[in-house]
Amino acid sequence: MTILVTGGAGFIGSNFVLDWLEQSDETVVNLDALTYAGNLQNLASVQGDARHVFVHGDIGDRALVDALLARHQPRAIVHLAAESHVDRSIHGPGEFMKTNVEGSFTLLEAARAHWGSLGDVAKAAFRFHHVSTDEVYGSLAPGAPAFTEAHPYAPNSPYSASKAASDHLVRAWHHTYGLPVVTTNCSNNYGPFHFPEKLIPLMIVNALAGKPLPIYGDGQQVRDWLYVADHCSAIREVLARGRVGETYNIGGWNEKTNREIVHTVCALLDELRPSAAGPYARLITHVKDRPGHDRRYAIDARKIERELGWRPAETFETGIRKTVVWYLAHADWVANVQSGGYREWVSKQYGA
């Protein structure tokens, strides 16, 4: 038995691969293009494990995907490969359209051909699990009900628009061709192996280096935060028992403002790695808000709890502590991902 995971060297992907191999003896074929955020160092602990087959390649390469499906005959595809950073999508939307829309289309077509070639039993068991984001739903007003699976799509950034497009493709391939799909829309993930351009790892890394901690605008943007290991367990549950053609929202039940997040990180660092220069909160700097910045996201995750019995194991307090401890213990990993290209990006995005 084998599953194919796309984007399995990225943040969520590598956590999912490691979680899968810890929970199961089933082989994982891991297809990743190793763009700037894909990092094989994330998977160092399974190097040499015969259950992990890494393939360096692009989901948009139809010949390669066809060959992998024919060779490994996976019973499921877990589609995690995506360009995911909103700020990058604003500066360069083309890559997001190429990977998230065209790449998903190519993968769906390859999956449809593979699924169509299977015998009746294997065909009935096959699943295409598409991993998406709560950002496709747009922005919520303060006090408005959280996003349910029935919430209308209203993407506001090139990133969220590209993910919304891929969600619609997955839905259409199910309704038109019968491809057995499930889709999950998750809230903001955090945890180990998070590339330090996103809010939480950027704050940790900058604080330890004595650099400014940039917060967009007034810092009152609200997000629901989901510890990445909880996201992995939810994907496993949906893949195993989710109803074909359905969407499941995955959230952490942790709505926090960006400002709250940064102050929490600073307080943990004050406790765990105090600075002789004083509290880390002294480094907080408010910078110009990004264009079209959504004000609030919130996930209503009652459907997945009701149907599959899933709830997150971590509170925000336990998850953020684990995250900070992990970054403090993995300074070598942080140093290795901070290439010249990464430093240029942070400088471009947040200024001097």
| CATH assignment at residue 59 | 3.40.50.720
Residue 267 falls inside a structural domain: no
For residue 85, the model assigns a pLDDT of 81
Residue 350 falls inside a structural domain: no
CA distance 186 to 233: 12
For residue 36, the model assigns a pLDDT of 80
CB 82 within 8 A of CB 100: yes
> What phi-psi label fits residue 320: left (phi over 0), alpha (psi between -120 and 50 degrees) or beta?
alpha
Q: What does residue 308 show for φ and ψ, rounded to 5 degrees?
A: -120, -5
Residue 149 falls inside a structural domain: yes
CB 238 within 8 A of CB 182: yes
Catalytic residues: 134-135, 159
The residues of the chain scoring below 50 in pLDDT are 342, 352
CB-CB neighbours of 292 under 10 Å: 13
- Total structural domains within the chain: 1
Residue 33 falls inside a structural domain: yes
Specify the residue for token string 């589609």.
79
Domain that residue 81 falls in: 2-188+227-252+293-313
CA distance 99 to 162: 9
> What pLDDT, in 10s, does the model give residues 130-169?
999 999 999 999 999 999 999 999 999 999 999 999 999 9
> What pLDDT, in 10s, does the model give residues 109-126?
999 999 999 999 999 999
For residue 88, the model assigns a pLDDT of 87
CB 262 within 8 A of CB 282: no
CA distance 290 to 350: 10
For residue 352, the model assigns a pLDDT of 44
Cα maximum dimension of the chain = 67
Q: What does residue 266 show for φ and ψ, rounded to 5 degrees?
A: -60, -45
Residue 171 falls inside a structural domain: yes
CB-CB neighbours of 286 under 10 Å: 14
For residue 295, the model assigns a pLDDT of 95
Residue 99 falls inside a structural domain: yes
Structure tokens that stand for 265 in this block: 């990180």
CB 122 within 8 A of CB 2: no
CA distance 261 to 225: 10
CA distance 159 to 162: 5
Residue 210 falls inside a structural domain: no
- The pairing of strands 76-79 and 127-133 is parallel
CA distance 348 to 91: 10
> What pLDDT, in 10s, does the model give residues 11-48?
999 999 999 999 999 999 999 998 888 889 999 999 99
Residue 26 falls inside a structural domain: yes
CA distance 44 to 62: 28
